[in-house]
Amino acid sequence: MARAKLAVLISGRGSNLQSLIDAAVDAGFPAEVSLVISNRPKAEGLKHATKAGIHQLVIDHKDFQTREDFDDALNDALRATKVDYVCLAGFMRMLTPKFVNDWRGRLINIHPSLLPAFKGLHVHERMIDAGIKIAGCSVHFVSAEVDAGPIIGQAAVPVLPGDDADTLAARILEQEHKLYPACVKLIAENKARLSGAVVPFDSSITAAGALSNPPGV
């Protein structure tokens, strides 16, 4: 069976891109990264694509007058490569509703909180300030509303005494690197799919991409 072709969109260091590249090294993984696109020419994550021999493009948002023009260029590049799914991995651009609708059910994002809590930016700082005891990350299908699309899988981690935003972010990131490939695998194998506003799973699946219980909680 042919592997699903992934495009990964990045703006920064690309650690979740690397987790998908690493997962695809296993011949049994049902997807492979075929294209990496960055909106920032100096994004560190481009080095991961270079090292892995993956085709990469820079589509600098500063070269376009409108978000629509930028998204059109992005869409053209994705269509030309004939990718099956688009994975956002630290892609710091708001996508237009048209782009989101064009890729509905094939556009995936990872967010460093247990959605629907703590949508948006500065997530780790806000969780520390709120005094929560359990944090985590979520993989979801992208909708026009930011961080509001149907959830595919989540992983939880404890917030420990003495944590600051950096230590909490590092603990969550470890789970992100496990969760994203697990959810992509489910989608590529058609065991998880978008249906309306929810993500039903194949009857053989007992956990959505891995909702992990934090140790000691």
Express each pLDDT in 9-25 by its tens digit: 999 999 999 999 999 99
Q: For 180, list phi and psi in degrees, rounded to 5.
A: -60, -50
Query: Phi and psi (nearest 5°) for 53?
Result: 70, 30
Asked whether residue 216 falls in the same domain as residue 114, the answer is yes
Judgement on whether residues 64 and 132 belong to the same structural domain of the protein = no
pLDDT tens profile 96-151: 999 999 999 999 999 999 999 999 999 999 999 999 999 999 999 999 999 999 99
CA dist 57 and 37 (Å) reads 5
Q: Dihedral angle at the C-alpha atoms of 53, 54, 60, 61, nearest 10 degrees?
A: -160
Catalytic positions, written as ranges = 111
CATH number for the domain that contains residue 99: 3.40.50.170
Specify whether the CB–CB gap between 18 and 110 falls below 8 A: no
Statement: residue 155 has pLDDT above 90: yes
pLDDT at 215 over 80: no
Backbone angles phi, psi at 20, to 5 degrees: -75, -40
In terms of domains, do 132 and 76 share one?
no
Residue 202's pLDDT band, with cuts at 50, 70 and 90, is: confident
What is the mean pLDDT of the segment spanning 58-81?
97
pLDDT score for 14: 97
Domain boundary among 103, 134, 161: 103
Q: Which domain holds residue 114?
A: 110-217
Q: How high is the pLDDT of residue 201?
A: 81
Number of domains in the chain: 2
Please determine, for residue 40, whether its predicted confidence score (pLDDT) is greater than 70: yes
The pLDDT > 70 percentage for the chain reads 93
Do 125 and 74 lie in one domain? The reply is: no
Q: Which of 103, 138, 157 corresponds to the end of one domain?
A: 103
What is the model's pLDDT at position 212?
43
pLDDT, tens only, 164-185 = 999 999 999 999 999 999 999 9
Q: What is the pLDDT of residue 195?
A: 84
Within this chain, do residues 125 and 44 fall inside the same structural domain, yes or no?
no
55-58, strands of its sheet edge to edge: 55-58, 31-38, 4-10, 85-88, 107-111, 134-141, 151-158
Domain boundary residue among 103, 127, 158?
A: 103
Task: Indicate the pTM of the whole model.
Answer: 0.92
Whether residue 199 is found in the same domain as residue 162: yes
pLDDT band at 217 (very low <50, low <70, confident <90, very high): very low
- Contacts with 38 (C-beta within 8 Å, 6 or more apart), sequence order: 9, 10, 11, 45, 46, 56, 57, 58, 59
Q: Which residue has the tokens 């909680």?
A: 217
All residues at 6 or more sequence positions from 18 whose CB lies less than 8 Å from its CB, including other chains: 45, 48, 177
